[in-house]
Structure 1
């Protein structure tokens, strides 16, 4: 079950639909460089429910054709420069969504349903740009009661980072249930983890409730601090200085290319992987 990062990246194919988590939920940043180096193109990213540094890097490297998201930003470091530039240039298809809609689409896929209904979109301009979202009247109401049907989102792969996994392939995600939803909705999941738990996580009464079973995990790589420069909930903080450095450099494509080519900007991943 334990794999090398490069081997995990080789499981991916150009054109795949890939689900990636929000910056605070466990972004597998250590997978970013191998993904870029493997020459992937025309990826369709699903941000769960927003995107950040990893998404911006993949766009800047020319790997992405489409992003379905509620937003893409670098948080305290400001806007996502390569995403913004691609949108302005018209080189990236952006499928505008909302956070509840993204989660609804994934939950529908998890449950094997063709769609899930939500209410919050009624009256919003977002609906004008989503012909695949359908507004119907609640068939169980005697009065007009419009709801929006969100089609199921079926990613080919979910990629994320978690604190630990065991040698049986089980992954502990704690209370980050959105990671489980991503895994359930996707055909397979690739996971990086900070440490390996000696034993079976599902046999530990304290930890078992927060475990994603191995059934939903295709491959795991042991990469301590694999979210860097992002932090990991309950483990270590975000390296804001590095995020700021990237944000400043990536305002131009030339700056982005130079920043990505500098080994020191990837040193911590390489040293700790």
Structure 2
């Protein structure tokens, strides 16, 4: 025992000290990130940053003519956005309204962020209301955009889309309608990586002007959008900076909500929580209305708090023909029919789709009747089979 205590009492031999020269910095693992190495390799060993410095000490200005037509200072005014969000009433108040009233709150020229992802939990009922209201000049933003973007383009509702991908999915390929409208100059296409869009919403949700990132570093995407570069104040390493994105309106679809706007989402929530906290106006459709007592009993299930929500409309099958996890599956056969029409007739097929599914049915119930009760029940059965 004495020997053991004596061994513990002895101090370890001193380690050789490494003296750093003045101004020398540690090289964290971050600097060995593949994207950083790829960017440095492209510039060459010892090459200087685009502004002529070894490491750009100030934000790199955008190249003239690259993405300038998309820039709108109001989109990056985080102080004004914070004041706008802080001014929203925070007390519990009744948010229930009709689908038509919720859709009418979108105005011409708004930046509209769409919740869900691709064909999962798309707020389809609200998309339909926006189309029926014949809005124009919209900017449509979504992490992975499905064919709601095509409908908006052909309807003349949007003049800009902001996304990382546009199309139903890999089996159907990249949107042909998007290519037609973007390449002809009818619609501006602003491309960000999936992570970059998420960080833009996250920055806005946090009330910050931007967030640093390595996404898009060394890629051509950084040359065609509003990404800039900043220096890490601790290491001097050059990083990307993506600006906060504060939508005018967020449209979301959830599994359950109460009358005060507290929302529950089953499965992956995607970027919906950040989008809701970033947007000036938040419009929600829900598959089911629950009591506020139920929300209080299960506070951990609330993904979007009611104080950021402005309107809630009850709408079962509010995502159909897209999926709502655990409740009904996406109607892939319907997607096949839609894409086959575009392959055969191009934009004319989309115009026909708009007339048949968006404009002609007087209500969302009438719209669902076009699919028939048996088809809806089949998609419900498929969803139950997947989740057990």
Please, what TM-score do these two structures have when normalized by structure 1? 0.90
Q: CA deviation at 1:24?
A: 4.8
15-24 or 170-179: which moved more? 170-179
Q: 1:93 to 1:223 in 2, by over 3 A?
A: same
CA contact (8 A) 1:24 1:233 kept: no
CA distance, structure 1, for counterparts of residue 173 and residue 303 of structure 2: 34
Q: Does 1:113 align with 2:208?
A: yes
CA contact (8 A) 1:122 1:146 kept: no
Q: CA deviation at 1:177?
A: 5.1
The one of 198, 201, 211 equivalent to 1:103 is 198
Q: CA deviation at 1:260?
A: 2.0
The one of 144, 149, 152 equivalent to 2:241 is 149
Q: CA deviation at 1:269?
A: 4.2
Q: Look up the match of 1:218.
A: 310
Q: 1:184 to 1:266 in 2, by over 3 A?
A: farther
CA contact (8 A) 1:228 1:269 kept: no
19-28 or 106-115: which moved more? 19-28
Matched residues, number: 268
CA contact (8 A) 1:170 1:201 kept: no
Larger radius of gyration: 2
102-111 or 263-272: which moved more? 263-272
The one of 233, 243, 256 equivalent to 2:335 is 243
Runs of at least 5 residues in structure 1 that lack an aligned partner in the other structure: none
Cα RMSD, aligned residues only: 2.2
Runs of at least 5 residues in structure 2 that lack an aligned partner in the other structure: 1-94, 370-388
Q: 1:8 to 1:219 in 2, by over 3 A?
A: same
CA contact (8 A) 1:165 1:172 kept: yes
Q: CA deviation at 1:101?
A: 0.6
Greater than 6 Å deviation, 4+ residue runs: 264-268
> Which whole-Å deviations, capped at 9, do the CAs of 1:211-264 have from their partners, x for residues lacking one?
311111111111101101101112211001111212222352222112222259
Q: CA deviation at 1:202?
A: 3.1
The one of 221, 224, 230 equivalent to 1:136 is 230
Q: Look up the match of 1:194.
A: 287
CA contact (8 A) 2:262 2:302 kept: no
Q: Look up the match of 1:86.
A: 181
Q: Look up the match of 2:125.
A: 30
SS in 1 for 2:271: helix
Please, what TM-score do these two structures have when normalized by structure 2? 0.65
Normalized per residue, the structure richer in strand is 1
> Which whole-Å deviations, capped at 9, do the CAs of 1:185-234 have from their partners, x for residues lacking one?
111211111111134343123x5343311111111111101101101112
102-111 or 120-129: which moved more? 120-129
